[in-house]
Amino acid sequence: MSDKRELNLAAVRQNKGVWLVKVPKYLSQQWDKATEKGEVGKLSIEKKQGKTEVRFSLNEELATMAAAGEKEESLQLPREYPFTMHTASAQTLAVFCQGDADEISLEGTVVHRAECRPVVSDSYMKVKRLQIESVKPQRLSQQLDRAVTTIFKPVANHDFNLEHEKKKKSEGKMVRADRQVVLDMLFSAFEKHQYYSFKDLVDITKQPVTYLKEIMREIGTCNRKGAHKSTWELKPEYRHYQPGEEEEEEEKSP
């Protein structure tokens, strides 16, 4: 049985241009809290040195978010969000609207694509850390009423033992620290330098290779080419400096 819906082309708006903008999840959640006709913020478009700069400013009333699990009652969100513009000419995108009677109408075609990113600040870094903590799997402890008496037959696991011994030798006596403690050590290190070899990160954090690589893949990227090949740096959303700032400092140094 097919699901057929009517497409209303009576007032086609294919000539109407619309913007397709990707925004952080927490920002869209704050927008939902605005009243029906309330203002969520202001969009400014300026020309600077021949380039168009677009910036969104969040309304002050929506810049406070409840911090679940935190001692503080609320968390102050970043208010400034510069746009990173992308070309939309490579593909044809359109925006459709679904009415109350499941009727679908064409609202317009996408003429600009963009990403709405916050200015990196202490408040933004705190939001990111809380988001990382919120997706950690919940552990459940259960007390057994009686001892487990199930008898298991021996299983050959020679390959596993060899791999385990090899891993122990490579990682030494390193013990996994709490995830947040490791994140704090990494963020503190990257406040001093932009690039690190993975070996240096292991020396700084004293963490097992597999565990540390799992965390770094979440917050950083490994450069595969260029002057900083085989080094790690933070992803743009975790950096404390503005784009180009580190490169300028390197050029000024003798």
Residue 1: pLDDT over 60: no
Per-residue confidence (pLDDT) for residue 223, from 0 to 100: 92
Q: What's the CA angle centered on 80, arms 117 and 133, to 5 degrees?
A: 55
Query: Quick one: pLDDT band at residue 233, thresholds 50, 70, 90?
Result: very high
How far, in Å, CA of 117 to CA of 235, rounded? 13
Residue 172: pLDDT over 90: no
Tokens 């385990």 appear where? 164
Residue 219: pLDDT over 60: yes
Per-residue confidence (pLDDT) for residue 173, from 0 to 100: 63
Per-residue pLDDT tens for 129-139?
777 766 666 67
| Mean pLDDT rounded to a whole number for the chain | 78
Number of residues that this document lists for the chain: 254
Which whole number is the average pLDDT over 31-50?
A: 85
Domains of the chain in sequence order: 9-119 (no CATH), 174-243 (1.10.10.10)
Per-residue confidence (pLDDT) for residue 3, from 0 to 100: 58
Query: Quick one: pLDDT band at residue 234, thresholds 50, 70, 90?
Result: very high
φ/ψ of residue 238, rounded to 5: -105, -5
Strand partners, 245: none
Residue 77: pLDDT over 60: yes
Per-residue confidence (pLDDT) for residue 2, from 0 to 100: 47
120's CB contacts (< 8 A; 6+ apart) are 237, 238, 239, 240, 241, 242
Query: Quick one: pLDDT band at residue 151, thresholds 50, 70, 90?
Result: low
Per-residue confidence (pLDDT) for residue 89, from 0 to 100: 72
How far, in Å, CA of 12 to CA of 104, rounded? 11
Q: Which of 49-58, 81-90, 99-108, 157-166 has the lowest mean pLDDT?
A: 157-166
Which whole number is the average pLDDT over 157-183?
A: 72
201's CB contacts (< 8 A; 6+ apart) are 186, 189, 212, 216, 232
Who wins on pLDDT, 72 or 137?
A: 137
Residue 167: pLDDT over 50: yes
Which whole number is the average pLDDT over 66-76?
A: 62
For the chain, percent of residues with pLDDT exceeding 90: 19
Residue 200: pLDDT over 80: yes
Q: Which of 43-47, 125-129, 137-141, 182-186 has the lowest mean pLDDT?
A: 137-141
